[in-house]
A and B are shown apart, each in its own frame.
Chain A
Amino acid sequence: MILYRYIAEALFYAFMILTFMGAFMAVRSQLLMHAVIGLAISLLGIAGLYFHLGSTFLAVMQVLIYVGAVCIMIAMGVMLGNTPRQLAEKNLKGRNLLLAIGSCTAVFLALFATLAQTRFAPAAERIGDMSIQFVGENLLLQYCLAFELISLILLTAIIGSIILARGGRDGAVK
Chain B
Amino acid sequence: MIISDNLNTYLIIAALLLVIGLYGMIQHRSLIGMLISSEFVLNGAALNFMAFNTFTAPNPAVGQIYTLCIMALAAAEAAIAVSIIIVVYRRFHNEDPAIIQDMKY
Q: Which residues of A contact B (CB under 8 A)?
A: 5, 8-9, 12, 16, 19-20, 23-24, 26-27, 32, 35-36, 39, 42-43, 46, 49-50, 52-55, 57-58, 61-62, 65-66, 69-70, 73-74, 76-78, 80-83, 87-88, 90-91, 94, 96-97, 99-101, 103-105, 107-108, 111-112, 115, 120-130, 134-135, 137-139, 143, 146-147, 149-150, 153-154, 156-158, 160-162, 164-165, 167, 169, 171
Contact = CB atoms under 8 A, between A and B. Distances in A.
Interface in B7-38: 7-8, 10-13, 15-24, 26-30, 32-33, 35-37
Contact of A16 (B13, B55, B95): B13
Interface string B47-72: 10011111111111110111111011
Contacts of A36: 36
Interface of B: 2-4, 7-8, 10-13, 15-24, 26-30, 32-33, 35-37, 39-40, 43, 47, 50-62, 64-69, 71-80, 82-87, 89-91, 95-96
15 contacts: A19-B17, A23-B20, A24-B20, A26-B37, A26-B40, A32-B32, A39-B36, A104-B19, A125-B58, A126-B58, A128-B60, A135-B64, A138-B59, A146-B66, A157-B75
Q: Classify the secondary structure of A's interface with B.
A: helix
Q: Classify the secondary structure of B's interface with A.
A: helix
